[in-house]
Amino acid sequence: MPEGPAPAPVIQRLRVRYAKRGRLRFTSHRDISRAVERAVRRAGIPVAYSAGFTPHPKISYAGAAATGVASEAEYLELGLTEPRDPERVRRELDTALPGGLDVVDVVAVPPGSGRASALADRLEASEWRVRLDGIAPDEAAAAVAAFLAAEAVEVERLTKKGRRRFDTRPAVSRCEVDRRASEAADAPCAILRMVVRHTTPAVRPDDILTGLRQIADLAPPSPPLVTRLAQGPLDAATGGLTDPLGPDRETAQPTGDGAGTAAVPALRPPAVGVDAAGAHP
Amino acid sequence: MPVESLFPRLEPLLPRVQKPIQYVGGELNSEVKDWDAARVRWALMYPDAYEVGLPNQGVQILYEILNERDGVLAERTYSVWPDMEAIMREHGIPQFTVDGHRPVAAFDVLGVSFSTELGYTNLLTALDLAGIPLDAADRADGHPIVLAGGHAAFNPEPIADFVDAAVLGDGEEIALAITELIREWKDEGEPGGRDEVLLRLARTGGVYVPKFYDVEYLPDGRIQRVAPNRNGVPWRVAKHTVMDLDQWPYPKKPLVPLAETVHERFSVEIFRGCTRGCRFCQAGMITRPVRERSITTIGDMVENGLKASGFEEVGLLSLSSADHSEIADVAKGLADRYEGTNTSLSLPSTRVDAFNVTLAGEFSRGGRRSGLTFAPEGGSERMRRVINKMVSEDDLIRTVTTAYENGWRQVKLYFMCGLPTEEDADVLAIADMARRVIQAGREATGRRDIRCTVSIGGFVPKPHTPFQWAAQCDHETVDRRLRALKDALRGDREYGRAIGLRYHDGKPSVIEGLLSRGDRRVGRVIRAVWEDGGRFDGWSEHFSFERWLTAAEKALADEPVDVDWYTVRERDEVEVLPWDHLDAGLDREWLWQDWRDAVEETEVEDCRWTPCYDCGVCPTMGTEIQIGPTGRKLLPLNVV
């Protein structure tokens, strides 16, 4: 039986936005979680551990981008046993992680906000950039128009549960060719921008490319370069995404001591909330 | 000559292969040095998949030692999986290093570390992908020197056609010496080209260059003699032994991969060598004498390595880790230092000894006590006397009883099948032993959930061991004995369900035996297998016994020898063995006597605690046993 005292409880939760860039896009989700655990240890961040025979660090991930897909907006949450300045954690974790796994933003979850504000629930959709080398922007635009005009675009994919057939069209809230970016690229290509809802089964950018191939014979000669630009709540008015850490930032403003802050030691400067808010333009 | 990174050509192809991260590099503590600023450049290869090769200590140590030197550069390369090989061939991308993604053919030396002979076909794949001629004889001045090291290099004859040179023993000092020799030769303007630099290496007596030795055969296929064919090339080539391991505390900066690998931990070698004298164990014979790292160096290495890596687990490596003269203080000191930090400590390779249970207890303070592994190796007392594994069945029962009493629920026992003089009864004795283990566990704890797993490997006779003369057991016999053991366990109503049995069929051992004790003629077999598509022979899903047999039949058709001749044939004392000109320091007469002692079931003590019995290593190599105790203790760390 495990001996000794119970593990120290979580007294601060930090939400971390990180990017997966360049050759590091070939890391799998498991690779990243190992790298983060080691970086947390090297950086001396006081992460909490679960109880039991094999204690695990309290690090949770929200919807990770697939192996080979780059991302500017991945999210994880750290449970700490001591409060830390989020900006300091951002710096230290970024230094300890390999270049290409870059920590973009760290926000403290306001005490008392509880499960109801689970980060995963706020990640309603993703914005993607998909670079198709060797495809002319006009050709891509025609395919996108045909896709958007369709009632349904069913595709098939091998999932963990076997071969599944599903409709990709309803998940796509926006899709267009970024002509300026396409023309500015270093080689002939078409660059797509799309906002896709997180549904079950998940509709991935490559499912949409499969759909474009089916509906308009759009067949890129080489594997596309896919980057997740953002994740967050879907803004019904604009069809775009808002910052999923926004609510934490707002409530993290020093608005006086609520019941929920009682657990936080007094040495924590109220300025932390201001710092975190200030870090994000 | 500028050498460009191949990565821009590789990157668009990576989405098409399995686990692309293994080809990307960028591990923590890896390094890409300036190509043009380096005078001598090494490509270090572990001839297996990245996930197996990356944690290899030998490669990591040499990588760090070489890169620490000004004007020297070292990068790493691993075997690519068949899907990647196909894509590289399709797009004309050569074998590359994972550090700078530079073509392997551009380096001065391609150093390949062979832990096992089953990596030989992977060497050929890498050479071919690199654009380096497979036959050393076909290489030109600009090609790298292909250099073999690792335990398998103690008999490099089967790959003598494919390597330019081989080194035996510890790599730290000889790698630097080779570097200096090459640097001088280059500074002189590379006089005499490839032949000259190889000759200079051979004349040191510490580097084996196969082409400077002629092998002559008798009409019946045995070797008549092996003789140098150039002036100044010595008759025998000696192994290298690093003394005072405290002076070589590597790895200091362990490589931490992004990809998942077989060992996710920081390993510290707490000593090198082993003189327990187990007769089957090549490692124990060729790494003598025992040289310990001191308790304080171990403590420093663990501390620095954890800081530099962020690993959560530390492994204390050696051939028999509990034999360190201060292991109890090491264990307690480390357990105290890291208590409550979620850092776990492990001690692979432990003996059957109740003391080891106490040690394991220190290492699992507060943690899970899932399983302990012991290696009696032989099922019967007689068998253990033959192999000089001095463990009695009562020792084992005492040990496992202690383990069960201390909270462990499962014990794993490791054995070999096919040992010299083995009979069916010796293997069936494993079942009796496992039954007694369960019985002891149930009595000690009063519980029914006691388990014992029996793991069995096939024995392969190895060069430079007393069993180098022995007939290898044929795979039919091995398989038959294992089936009988399985039936005996399955038919046991009282204990059978508490005992697990793990084993593989005997066929791969036959090929390992062919490659272990083969001579230069076996090179043709390796080549034929490779040409027929043989890759990753250490992986059961890639290994094909039939392919090896077919290739051997063809390649050896004109010779008076075949696979059986190399494997199941017993050798006599006067036969010239293919590795007799390679000197591990062991006195041949002592080895022969130890072989006779084995057959007569006579045991030999460990020379650390009894007088020297003249195995020959220390006087031949100018070495000595270096062990503690130092009397020092590990002090608590200043906790940050």
Calpha distance B640→B638 (Å, rounded): 6
Is A23 in Cβ contact with B7 (below 8 Å)? yes
Is A2 in Cβ contact with B342 (below 8 Å)? no
Is B28 in Cβ contact with A57 (below 8 Å)? no
The average confidence (pLDDT) of chain B is 95
Phi, psi of A71 (to 5 degrees): -155, 140
A196 contact partners, CB below 8 Å, separation of at least 6? A125, A126, A128, A171, A172, A173, A203, A204, A205, A208
Is A223 in Cβ contact with B15 (below 8 Å)? yes
**Order of strands, edge to edge, in the sheet holding B266-269?**
B266-269, B313-317, B344-346
pLDDT at A263 over 60: no
Phi, psi of B304 (to 5 degrees): -65, -40
Q: pLDDT tens-digit profile of A69-109?
A: 999 999 999 999 999 999 999 999 999 999 999 999 999 99
CA B56 to chain centre: 9
DSSP assignment of B405-464 equals HTT--EEEEEEEES-TT--HHHHHHHHHHHHHHHHHHHHHH--S--EEEEEEEE----TT
Residue A200: band (very low, low, confident or very high) from pLDDT cuts 50, 70, 90:
confident
Is B24 in Cβ contact with A3 (below 8 Å)? no
pLDDT of residue A258: 38
Nearest-CA neighbor of A225 among A22, A28, A72?
Answer: A22
Q: For residue B303, which residues of chain A lie inside 8 Å, CB to CB?
A: none
pLDDT at B117 over 80: yes
- Where do the domains of chain A lie, and which CATH numbers do they carry? 12-121+244-279 (3.30.70.580), 124-232 (3.30.70)
Phi, psi of B490 (to 5 degrees): -65, -30
The distance of A67 to chain B (nearest Cα, Å) reads 8
Minimum-distance CB partner of A31 among B7, B258, B312: B258
Minimum-distance CB partner of A98 among B26, B342, B407: B26
Region A223-252: mean pLDDT is 89
The distance of B365 to chain A (nearest Cα, Å) reads 8
Indicate the range of B114-118, B323-327, B354-358, B507-511 predicted with least confidence. Answer: B354-358
B619 contact partners, CB below 8 Å, separation of at least 6? none
Interface check for B8 against chain A (CB to CB < 8 A): the answer is no
Nearest CA in chain A to B368: A53
Nearest CA in chain A to B15: A68
Residue A280: band (very low, low, confident or very high) from pLDDT cuts 50, 70, 90:
very low
pLDDT of residue A147: 97
pLDDT of residue A275: 33
Interface check for B91 against chain A (CB to CB < 8 A): the answer is no
Residue A52: band (very low, low, confident or very high) from pLDDT cuts 50, 70, 90:
confident
pLDDT at A268 over 80: no
Phi, psi of B213 (to 5 degrees): -130, 130
Name the residue type at position B590. W
Percent of chain A with pLDDT over 70: 86
Is B259 in Cβ contact with A31 (below 8 Å)? yes
Q: pLDDT tens-digit profile of B468-494?
A: 999 999 999 999 999 999 999 999 999
Is the Cβ–Cβ distance between B426 and B446 less than 8 Å? no
Interface check for A67 against chain B (CB to CB < 8 A): the answer is yes
Structural element, H or E, at residue A192: strand A189-197
pLDDT of residue B359: 81
Residue position matching structure tokens 């004349």: B203
Percent of chain B with pLDDT over 90: 90
Residue B361: band (very low, low, confident or very high) from pLDDT cuts 50, 70, 90:
confident
Mutation choice for A interface testing from B7, B16, B258 by most A CBs within 10 A: B258
pLDDT at B275 over 80: yes
Q: How crowded is residue A88: how many other Cβ atoms within 10 Å of its Cβ? A: 14
Calpha distance B588→A81 (Å, rounded): 63
pLDDT at B355 over 80: no
Is the Cβ–Cβ distance between B42 and B31 less than 8 Å? no
Chain B, residues 370-429, CB within 8 A of chain A, namely 407
Q: Please tell me whether the peptide bond between A5 and the residue prior to it is cis, using omega within 30 degrees of 0.
A: no
Calpha distance B84→B189 (Å, rounded): 38
The distance of B125 to chain A (nearest Cα, Å) reads 25
Q: How crowded is residue B424: how many other Cβ atoms within 10 Å of its Cβ? A: 12
Is the Cβ–Cβ distance between B233 and B202 less than 8 Å? yes
Nearest-CA neighbor of B322 among B346, B296, B349, B295?
Answer: B349
Is the Cβ–Cβ distance between B459 and B471 less than 8 Å? no
Is the Cβ–Cβ distance between A94 and A103 less than 8 Å? yes
Q: Residue B267 in 3-state DSSP?
A: strand
Fill in the DSSP letter of residue B222: S
Q: Where are the alpha helices (DSSP H) in B210-326?
A: 282-286, 295-309
pLDDT of residue A4: 58
Nearest-CA neighbor of A139 among A215, A239, A194, A70?
Answer: A215
pLDDT at B270 over 50: yes
Minimum-distance CB partner of B260 among A31, A37, A39: A31
Is A223 in Cβ contact with B12 (below 8 Å)? yes
Q: pLDDT tens-digit profile of B223-264?
A: 999 999 999 999 999 999 999 999 999 999 999 999 999 998
Fill in the DSSP letter of residue B510: H
Phi, psi of A8 (to 5 degrees): -60, 140
DSSP assignment of A233-257 equals -B-TTTS-B--TTHHHHHHTS----
Q: For residue B308, which residues of chain A lie inside 8 Å, CB to CB?
A: 42
Is B21 in Cβ contact with A34 (below 8 Å)? no
Nearest CA in chain A to B313: A38
